[in-house]
Structure 1
Amino acid sequence: MNAVPVPSHDFMELHPVHQHQPHCKQQCFVFTDIADIELPPEITKYSEKMKNGSIQSYKKENIAAIEPQSTKSRKIAIAVGILLICLALAGGIPLALQLRSSSLLEARIAFIRRLLKESPLVEGYWKPQITSNLTKSFAELKTNNIGAVFWPIPVPCGAQYLDAVQLALEGIDEAQRSTSKSTSMVIVESADEMETAHLRGETAVVLGLSGGHALGASLAVLRSMHLLGIRFVSLASLGCTTPWVAAAYKQEHVVEENYTNSLTDFGVTVLHEMSRLGMLVEISQLSEPAMTTALRAAKAPVLISNAAPASMCNGSNIASIPDHILSLLPQNGGVLMLNMEKCGDRLLSVREAINGINYVRALAGVDHVGLSGSPGSYLYLLAELARDRLWGNAAIKKLVGGNIVRVLREVEVQKNRLPLNEEWIPRELIEGNSYCRYPEI
């Protein structure tokens, strides 16, 4: 009886592997060492005879004689090629290529929607008409995937020295009552509460005051506002200088000679008291000297809201921030909430908005830029931004809200670390103004 040839251990066989890819009809092959296969007893008994030399084993020369080398090489090349095709179909097109392909806008938008479920999109400046029905405004925020808003309570500058504090209190009351009627919005007072509201599917509202004149030049009023839920204060509104801080002026405003052009010592005290309370300082409408002083004197990161670089936009509807102020943000840790909607009366294109984002990022860094002023187009804007290699997942999360959440946490860390300030504004700063005050006893 002729000996049955048995392949040696160094012979490699091709075994078909069933693929899981539905679109891969060909069989993909992998190399398997026959030593790794559990053979039946009828075959394994030959291994003992091989050791004794009773059965002739195949050598590589015999294999080469049976199968020509060229045929074997072609089979290997075909097997490897099929395997690579199957792996490509299984892995799919990389996400980065999907996002950066102009023909896959829907894929990019779907990606942004998923990202905004993880990180809330924070609108840095939301100012609805309180006298109107806010139900529609609330619904628009939800439709536009906005997870949190900074809502400054408006107080007319003309009310300074008169009933500015009363108007602020009435505005806070109206905002609280309107929000309580909504099932999709909730007023929050911390970063943790903002993130919790986002997980519940609610839009978080951070209440603030639109100008320092609403404080009546009183630290006691500031503390009372904090107790009512106010968590940020714009030190000045446009053209509304107070006895302790100078506002930025446009051409139509006239500056009075006895007004300060910067931030006074009492103004610095206001900043420190806000830090002690855990309140965020907003400085977008300050004069350049006042901005510089505030950035250097603040004990916590500041906010510059609804603004744009002065070199790109100098419109009257938003604050125009000089480059040298933007370059100070990394040292302070603050964030500029960039207006994405318009410059003056001119609407910005998506490309102009993206150029503005990249401009601020180049000057201040990715940790110091946020979004503001364009609730109707954020989704498409972010989808286009995702095509840029500079903006990966982590960077976009910082832009949409991560930077603001960081600032809120850092402000909260400073809470109660400074001594209580019980100072009154110096009398000489308010002499000649029409403050209605009861005479001291």
Structure 2
Amino acid sequence: MHTDFPHHKSGKMVPQHQPHCKQTCFVFTEIADIELPPEITKLQSEKLNLAMKSNEIMNGGMASASAIYKNKECLAMGAGQSCHQPQKSPTKGRRLIVILCAVLVCVTMAGGIPLILQLRSSSLLEARMSFIRRLLTEAPLIEGSWTNTEKDSNFSSNIIEVRKNLVGAVLWPVTVPCGSQYLDAVQLAVEGIDKAKRLTSKTGYMRIVESSDEMEQTHLKGEVAILMGLGGGHTLGSSLGVLRSMYMLGVRFVSLTSFGCTTPWAGASIKNDLIIEDNSTTNSLTTFGKTVLYEMNRLGMLVEISQMSETAMITTLKTARAPVLLINAAPLSLCNSTNLASIPDHILSLLQDNGGVIMLNMEKCGDRPLTIREAINAINYVRKVAGVDHIGLSGAPKSYTFLLAELARDRVWGNAAIKKLVGGNVVRILREIETLKDRLPLYENWLPRKVFERNSYCRYEDN
């Protein structure tokens, strides 16, 4: 239907009536007596369509969508279409509302599900930690090695940490400076043993033990068992008699070397550039060194090899008649530090044939503290290379309970496997050593005089 409009200089709204339309529609025009072409009405319809979508998104309601839809009807009528034609219900607005509701539900679930999982994991963590605490009352957690015990203040703080972390037994190597070799190393070692006995007797809840059975009995009494050792072969003075005397004083393990402290019969690992390696000394295990090894096996003493040179470690692993021990160590591929024994994979793999155990230090790599995840990765790595029967503990980030609780999330670490890890493997090799006691021949051998001629070792010779 065509309708003429009176001429006006400026545009205004003019009502337009249809005989069969109950509503009033308005058309805007700037020039009089000009019929609106369909292209203009189409353009205005598209603009209104965009406005409708915008209003629906902003307001989220059906009212605004309905109003825009009616304006759209009126515009179509102005282009010549009839108002009384039936129109379909606006489904796009409802779809948008459904989409908005779905998004709202997703956002709520995204925030709620992690909270639920967090609460659930928290309760599961507490259950795992309770399981670990109960397990540690059944089997002693053996830590090796204990350091910083020279001063009474350090000793007291270490004792607090030991009891707090539910440690049941500690390997305590009496350390003697390497510079005392050929001088008074033996005397310093004896004095260190005496001091260890005096310090432990003051506590009332620590006891120096000399066997695996004593270790387990001490743990069942709620006390901390101390297994004493010597932190370097130079404390023996190259004498089997001194070795046997140390055993009678309660020493149950000996580190054949300390870092950078090569003896006349065993090569040490050199990890400090300031240490000048003497080419005249051995880099492996000499014939007398093998004799020391055999005598330790006969006495029932653990042989500790973590600070030996690679060549000496391999020789010892293949020569020893009983399992060996590596204390305060870590896989070389995961940690290469100057103050930590870093063990290559090919040596870790030899532990299966020897039956030995590596006690992993998972507290630090050099000066960098390790995270729980890094510690667990180290444990799983050694288990893969050496086997579950050859792993022990020498330290833990935060606490052993939390570390073991996180480790227990993996199903491969069940009750039996965790008991082996915390101390079962160390008790096993200690028992194997004890079974060899007095079953091997007595070894007696002195170093030849020429070994000492180039050193300042003082020895009385009875002509």
Question: TM-score band, normalised by the shorter chain?
Answer: 0.7 to 0.9
CA deviations on 1:88-112 (whole Å, 9 max, x unpaired) are xxxxxxxxxxxx9465211111110
CA deviations on 1:357-409 (whole Å, 9 max, x unpaired) are 00000001000000003385211100100101110000000000000000100
Distance 1:337 1:419 in 2: 30
Aligned to 2:129: 109
Aligned to 1:68: none
Cα contact 1:176–1:187 (8 A) shared by 2: yes
Aligned to 1:126: 146
Of 346-355 and 369-378, deviating more is 369-378
Aligned to 2:43: none
Give the one of 269, 273, 276 matched to 1:254: 276
- The residue correspondences of 1:288-303 to structure 2 (distance < 5 A) are 288-303=310-325
Distance 1:409 1:270 in 2: 20
- The residue correspondences of 1:283-432 to structure 2 (distance < 5 A) are 283-374=305-396, 376-432=398-454
CA deviations on 1:271-307 (whole Å, 9 max, x unpaired) are 0000110000000000011000000110110000100
Distance 2:279 2:348 in 1: 29
Q: Post-superposition shift, 1:267?
A: 0.2
Distance 2:363 2:292 in 1: 32
Distance 1:375 1:234 in 2: 25
Cα contact 1:308–1:318 (8 A) shared by 2: yes
- The residue correspondences of 1:18-167 to structure 2 (distance < 5 A) are 101=121, 103-133=123-153, 134-167=155-188
Secondary structure at the aligned position of 2:152 is classed as coil
Distance 2:131 2:294 in 1: 42
Moved over 3 A (4+): 100-103
- The residue correspondences of 1:190-269 to structure 2 (distance < 5 A) are 190-250=211-271, 251-269=273-291
Cα contact 1:232–1:281 (8 A) shared by 2: yes
Secondary structure at the aligned position of 1:439 is classed as coil
Cα contact 1:112–1:383 (8 A) shared by 2: yes
For structure 1, the residue ranges without an aligned partner over 5 or more in a row are 1-99
Q: What is the TM-score when the length of structure 1 is the normalising length?
A: 0.76
Task: Return the letter of the residue paired with 1:235.
Answer: L
Q: Post-superposition shift, 1:249?
A: 0.5
Secondary structure at the aligned position of 1:104 is classed as helix
Aligned to 2:101: none
Q: Post-superposition shift, 1:204?
A: 0.2
Cα contact 1:244–1:264 (8 A) shared by 2: yes
Secondary structure at the aligned position of 2:134 is classed as helix
Aligned to 1:437: 459
Q: Post-superposition shift, 1:422?
A: 1.6
Distance 1:317 1:439 in 2: 39
The answer as to 2:306 corresponding to 1:281 is no
Distance 1:316 1:389 in 2: 35
Distance 1:174 1:374 in 2: 27
Distance 1:108 1:430 in 2: 57
Q: Post-superposition shift, 1:209?
A: 0.3
Distance 1:426 1:290 in 2: 20
Cα contact 1:283–1:291 (8 A) shared by 2: yes
Aligned to 1:178: 199
Cα contact 1:339–1:374 (8 A) shared by 2: yes
Task: Return the letter of the residue paired with 2:248.
Answer: L
Aligned to 2:27: none
Quick one: higher RCO (CA 8 Å, sep 6+), 1 or 2?
A: 1
Task: Return the letter of the residue paired with 1:378.
Answer: Y
Cα contact 1:278–1:414 (8 A) shared by 2: yes
Provide the aligned C-alpha RMSD in A.
1.6
Distance 1:252 1:103 in 2: 52
Task: Return the letter of the residue paired with 1:336.
Answer: I
Distance 1:162 1:375 in 2: 39
Task: Return the letter of the residue paired with 2:160.
Answer: A
Cα contact 2:176–2:189 (8 A) shared by 1: yes
Cα contact 2:375–2:396 (8 A) shared by 1: no
* Residues 132 and 375 of structure 1: CA distance in aligned 2, closer, same or farther (over 3 Å): farther
Distance 2:420 2:441 in 1: 33
Distance 1:253 1:348 in 2: 28
CA deviations on 1:324-343 (whole Å, 9 max, x unpaired) are 00000010000000001010
Secondary structure at the aligned position of 1:127 is classed as coil
Corresponding pairs, count: 344
Secondary structure at the aligned position of 1:123 is classed as strand
Cα contact 2:370–2:397 (8 A) shared by 1: no
Distance 2:397 2:253 in 1: 21
Task: Return the letter of the residue paired with 2:145.
Answer: Y
Cα contact 1:207–1:229 (8 A) shared by 2: yes
Q: Post-superposition shift, 1:181?
A: 1.1
Task: Return the letter of the residue paired with 1:106.
Answer: E
Task: Return the letter of the residue paired with 1:116.
Answer: L
Aligned to 2:20: none
Task: Return the letter of the residue paired with 1:127.
Answer: T
